[in-house]
Structure 1
Amino acid sequence: MSDPQTVSNAVAKLYDTYPFPPEPILDEPPPGYNWRWNWLAAYSFCTGRKPPKQDIRILDAGCGSGVGTEYLVHLNPQAQVVGIDLSSGTLEVAKERCQRSGADRVEFHHLSLYDVEQLRGEFDLINCVGVLHHLPDPIRGIQALAKKLAPGGLMHIFVYGELGRWEIRLMQKAIALLQNEKRGDYPDGVHVGRKIFASLPENNRLLKREKERWSMENQRDECFADMYVHPQEIDYNIDTLFELIDASGLEFIGFSNPSFWNLERLLGKAPELIERAEELSKRQNYRLIELLDPEVTHYEFFLGRPPITKADWSNDNALLSAIPELNPCIDGFPSKCVFNYDYQIINFSETEFEFLQKCDGNSTVAEILVEIQLGLDGVRTLMQQQLLILTPA
C-alpha cells in the first residue's frame, strides 16, 4: 500500500469505523488536565517564564474524536482553537464532544495535515499527538505544520517508539498474514487479533506484553483496532526521530518527560560511566538511555520557531524582581500535599507552603521573601519542580 492517497483513504476508513480515542462524551468540562495542552504550563516548561500573551491561536492537527481539542479549549480560556482531521466520521464525534461540554471557541475542518496551508494565519501552539507516525510521509507532514507555526510558537508532538512497541509490530504482522485478502476489513482484523490472544500459551511473549501493558485499554475495540490493525504505522528510534525533527527546520526544545531521559537513574551506581557519557553528544546520550531502557513506546517533545527567549534565573536580582504565580496544573492546593503538573505527589514544607500561598500574580519574589524565610535556593527548588510560573520584571 505505497500510494499516499490509498494509505490516507485506508486510515480515514479505519477511524470512520472506529472513532478514536473512544473516551466518553460528557456534559461538562473534561476532568483534570494535561499540562502539555495548557499554554501557561507548556510555555513555562519550555522557556522558564510566563508567556507574553494568552489570547493565542491553537491548532489541533489530527484531532481525532476531539479528546485533546476539548482540553485545549477548556485549559486555555482566551485561545481560539482549530481542529483538523482526515476522518469525517471522527470529526462528527469531536464536534458533538465539544458542543456538549461547552467548548465553544473551536472550529473544525475536514482536512489532511498535508493541506494545512489552506487554513488562514499562523498558530502559537500546534498540538500533533499520535498522527505523524500514521502518515505515508511524516516529513512532508511535519514540514507542512512547521510553516503554520508563528515565530515564538511551540509545537507539541507525540510519535511512536520502535523499541517499546516491538511486540505490537509482530502482532500487527501476524494479524495481517491471517487476514490475507480480508486486510482492510477492520472488524475482521479485531476478531482475528482477539482470537490469537485467546489462543496463545500463557507464557507467550506477545501475550505477556499485552497483559502487562495494554489489555486494560484494549478492552475497547477502538483501541485494539488502533493498535493492532492500523493500515499505516512508522515507529521511531532516537536517530530516526531527530531526522524527522531536523527536517522540520524548527528548534528542538526538549522531551516533555525529562525524568525518563536522565542517565543517572540507570547508571547512577557507576559514576565512571556517567563521566564517559559526558563525552557523548546530547543525542547520543538519548540513544544510550533508550538502548539501556527499551521501554520507549513513544516520544513526547516540544519544538519551537525562533525567536524563543528562554529566561535565565541564575541572576539573583532578576529572580527577586520576578512575579511568581502557581502553575495552573496543580491538583489539591491549598494543601501541603498536592499532585504536581505530572500527577506526582509533592509534599511541601511549612515555609514552601506559606511562600506558594503568597504567589498571587501581583507580588514580586523579593516582596514575598520579606515575609517568608524561604531564600532564593528554596524558590529555585520550587521552580525546578515546575510549581511556579514567573513573569520577568
Structure 2
Amino acid sequence: MTDSQAINQAVANLYNTYPFPPDPLSDLEPPGYNWRWNWTSAYSFCTGMKPATQDIRILDAGCGTGSGTDYLIHLNPEAEVTAIDLSEKALEMAEERCNRSGVIAKHAKPVKFFNLKLEEATNLEGEFDFINCVGVLHHLPEPEKGIQALAKKLKPGGILHIFVYAELGRWEISLMQKAIALLQGDKRGDYRDGVKVGRDIFANLPQNNRILKQEKERWALENHRDEAFADMYVHPQEIDYNVETLFDLIDASGLDFVGFSNPKYWQLDRFLGESAELMSRAKNLSDRALYRLIELLDPNLTHYEFFLAKPPLEKEDWSRDQKLKAAIPECSPCMQGFPSQSFLDFEYQMVHLCDDEYQFMLACDKNSEQQISVGEILANCELDLAGVRSLFNRQLIILKRN
C-alpha cells in the first residue's frame, strides 16, 4: 500500500467510525438555504447575471453524511445531482438523509451516490456545470491531484465552489492535534481513544490556557458531539493553507480564480482606511499580496471559501446605464421573510428597505412571469439606477439579459 493509499484508508476509517457532519437525520426538508449551493445565486455572484438554464449537472465532491447534498438537491430542483465520498458509512447516511427528507422523491432528475475517493472523480461519466467541494481537499494526501481531478470534470463555463482550512485561525487546533497525537503514541489511528485523550486534556488544562479558551469561545458548541471533536482534533490528515499556498493549489488546478465568497472580509479599509498613506502604498500590491496582507492583519480566519471557473466563463458588466435599464431583474432566491421591508438576506443578516427599494423589489418578485425591465419598473417608482445597483451589489436581486 502506498503512502497516499494508507492516508486515504486512515481518513475513511475515521469517517466510518465518526461519520461527519453529525447533523441529525430528519423527515423534513432542509431549512433555509446556503446561497453558495444555489446555482442561480452562485452563478450570479460569479458572472453578474442569471444562468441561462436550471437544467444542469451538479457534483457534490466529498459529500460526507449528505447535509450539503440535501441542500443541493432541494435548492436546485431541475438539476441532476451526483454525490461521492470515500467513507461507506458516511455515504450510506447521506443517501438515507436525502431519502428521509423527501428531497429525492420530489426531484425530477436522477440523484446518484458513489463510493469514490475525490481523486477518482474522473471515473464519473460526463462533465458537471457546478461542483461543490467543502472540507475535503485539505484532508487529501495530495490535494493537487484532487483539485485537478475536479477540474477535468468541470464543464467549460462551469463553476467550482471550494472550502479549505486556513492556518492562522486554526493555530490552536493544530497545537491540540499534535498534543493528542503525542499522548496517543502507538494508539494513533484508534479514533475513539483519540477523542478520549483529547477530552481529558481539555478537562485538565488551566482555565487561562489559550487552547482551552479558544475551544470554549469558538468550538465547544459544535464539539459536544464526538463526531465533530474527532474531525477537528483527531484527524489523520490535514493541510492548513495561507494565501500563498492556497493560490499554489489554485494554480495547480488550471482553473480561473473568480473570487472569495466573503468579499467583505477582503476589504483592506477595515483596518487601514483611516490612513491615506498606507492605503496608497497598498495600491501597489498585487491582488494576492493584498489578500496576504489582509489575512496577516486579521488572523482569525479559519477557512477560505471561493469559486473557480473553467474558461470561458462569460460575465456581464452592468455599469452602462442603458444596459442596466434593459435588464430583467428578479428577487434573489436566497432570502427569508420577503415580501416585507425587513427580512433576512443571503447571509441571514437583517435588511431594512426604504420605501422606494421595497416598491422596486415587489415588482421584481413578479418578474419570473412578467419579464419587465429595470427601466420599465423605474418608470413607476422613485428608485434610481444607483439604488438598483445597490440592491444588486447586496445580492438582493439578480439580473438577466433582455
Regarding TM over 0.5, the answer is yes
Q: Show the counterpart of 1:118.
A: 123
Runs of 4+ in 1 over 3 A off after TM superposition: none
How do residues 101-116 of structure 1 correspond to structure 2 at under 5 angstroms? 101-104=101-104, 105-116=110-121
Which of 255, 280, 283 is residue 250 of structure 1 equivalent to?
A: 255
SS in 2 for 1:108: strand
Q: Is 1:366 paired with 2:375?
A: yes
- Corresponding residue to 1:385 among 368, 391, 394: 394
Query: 1:318-343, CA deviations, whole angstroms, 9 ceiling, x for partnerless residues?
Result: 11111000000011101111111111
| Distance apart, 1:344 and its partner CA | 1.4
Q: CA deviation at 1:190?
A: 0.3
In structure 2, what is the equivalent of residue 26 of structure 1?
26
Normalising by structure 2, report the TM-score: 0.97
Cα deviations by residue, 1:47-69 (Å, 9 ceiling, x for unpaired)? 11000111100000000000000
For residues 124-177 of structure 1, give each alpha carbon's deviation from its aligned partner in whole angstroms, at most 9, with x where no partner exists: 000000000000000000000000000110000000000000000000000000
Please give the alpha-carbon distance, in whole angstroms, between the structure 1 residues aligned to 2:382 and 2:127: 45
The amino acid across from 1:238 in the alignment is V
Q: How does 1:195-344 map to 2 (within 5 A)?
A: 195-344=200-349
Which of the numbers 162, 171, 174 marks the counterpart of 1:169? 174
Deviation for aligned residue 1:28: 1.5
Give the distance between the partners of 2:322 and 2:363, measured in 1 at CA.
19
Q: Aligned with 1:269: secondary structure?
A: coil
Shift of residue 2, structure 1, vs aligned partner: 7.6
Partner of 1:41: 41
| Aligned with 1:183 (options 164, 181, 188) | 188
Aligned to 1:70: 70
How many positions carry a matched residue from both structures? 393
Task: Please identify, of 267-276 and 60-69, the stretch whose mean Cα deviation from structure 2 is larger.
Answer: 267-276
Normalising to structure 1: TM-score of the pair? Answer: 0.99
What is the percent sequence identity of the aligned residues? 64
How many Å separate the matches in 2 of 1:88 and 1:275? 53
CA distance in 2, matches of 1:305, 1:115: 19
| CA distance in 1: counterparts of 2:331 and 2:210, whole angstroms | 45
- Hey, what does 2:8 align to over in structure 1? 8
Q: Secondary structure at the match of 1:157?
A: strand
Q: Find out whether 1:142 has 2:151 as its counterpart.
A: no
Residue identity in the other structure for 1:222: E
AA matched with 2:193: D
1:348-359 alignment, distance < 5 Å: 348-359=353-364
* CA–CA separation in structure 2 for the residues paired with 1:288 and 1:266: 11
How far 1:103 sits from its partner (Å)?
2.3
Provide the alpha-carbon RMSD of the alignment.
0.9
Give the letter aligned to residue 310 of structure 1: K
Query: How many Å separate the matches in 1 of 2:134 and 2:207?
Result: 34
1:123 aligned partner, one-letter code: F
- Point out where structure 2 has 5 or more consecutive residues left out of the alignment: 105-109
Aligned mates of 1:270, 1:29 — CA distance in 2: 49
State the Cα distance separating 1:271 from its structure 2 match.
Answer: 2.1
Please report how far the alpha carbon of residue 16 of structure 1 lies from its aligned counterpart in structure 2 after TM superposition.
0.3
1:347 to 345, 352, 363: 352
2-structure distance, mates of 1:115, 1:176? 30
> For residues 54-90 of structure 1, what are the alpha-carbon distances to aligned partners after superposition, in whole Å with 9 as ceiling and x for unaligned?
1100000000000000000000010010000000011
